[in-house]
Chains A and B, each alone.
Chain A
Amino acid sequence: MRLSKRKRTTSAAMNMTPMIDIVFLLIIFFMTVSQISEVNKTPVELPRESGEDVEQPAEIIINITQAEDYIIASKPYDLGGVISYVSQVIARKSGNVGLVSIVLRVDRRSTSRPVNEVSAALNQLGLTQVRFGVQHKEL
């Protein structure tokens, strides 16, 4: 026998917990990934050219600053250091230079001297292709 007059209300409650879990997971993922990709890029003023290739991931990003310093993964190197770094990566790829892609991000206010030096050194290591980082003209 029902004594109470109060009706049982069935509220359509949405369970927000999985949604918030996923949103936070995505936020943390993108924050981490963006930090990792940015650590390889030293802030340099790239030449303003209309490059034809979209940015592709590279094995090694060599940054050359206005002061003509070589920076790889936020660490400064001299030319000898750059050569040994690249040699180690080539050795890790079992000597297959075709698997080693290199991007040179050179400050446009720099002279071509560091580029010439590093190009000649890379050529001696058997690397024949590089990509130069540029910034789109409109920006």
Chain B
Amino acid sequence: MRLSSRKTSRDGRLELSMTSMIDVVFLLLIFFMTTAAFVKTEKQLSSAIKVEESSAQQTPRDLEPAIVEVLRNASGKFVYRIGSRDMTSEAELSQVLKQFPNKEDGAFVRVTDDAPFAMSAAAIAACRTARFAGVSYVPLKK
């Protein structure tokens, strides 16, 4: 009959069973490895922030910088607007921005308060994808 829970070898030395310890350690390791795989990776979009300047402060340029506006059109639908052209999809916006001649002066994304942020982020991402020198986020005053 075994009276003691401690294992002792015949020569009287105390022996610790490491098996259970290693089981627990590996279980913890596997748990953390599995849960770490479910963490969503985040990326970031760099943008400058600017406030609208008065027209007197703006210096005239030969080529106008790209100005993408995210606003509600006459029919009440949110669109991306470059000049007088309205676009409804991000793909269409990307296509137009890629063909834009002046990329050195950067792009300006002007956003109204009521525009969905998903569209604002899409406009910034489209400008970055079109390889503009810089992208500026400009809150659009009503």
Contact = CB atoms under 8 A, between A and B. Distances in A.
A65 B46 CA distance: 20
A54 to B, nearest CB: 6
Nearest to A111: B114
Contacts of B48: 128-129
Given A20-B21, A30-B32, A130-B137, A46 B47 contact: no
Contacts of B28: 27
Interface residues of A, number: 46
A132 B121 contact: yes
* Chain B contact patch, size range: 35 or more
B68 interface: no
A35 B113 CA distance: 34
Interface of A: 16, 20, 23-24, 27, 30-31, 46-47, 49-56, 64, 103, 105-113, 115-117, 119-120, 122-123, 127-136, 139
Interface of B: 18, 21-22, 25, 28-29, 32, 40-51, 70, 111-118, 120-122, 124-125, 128-129, 137, 139-140
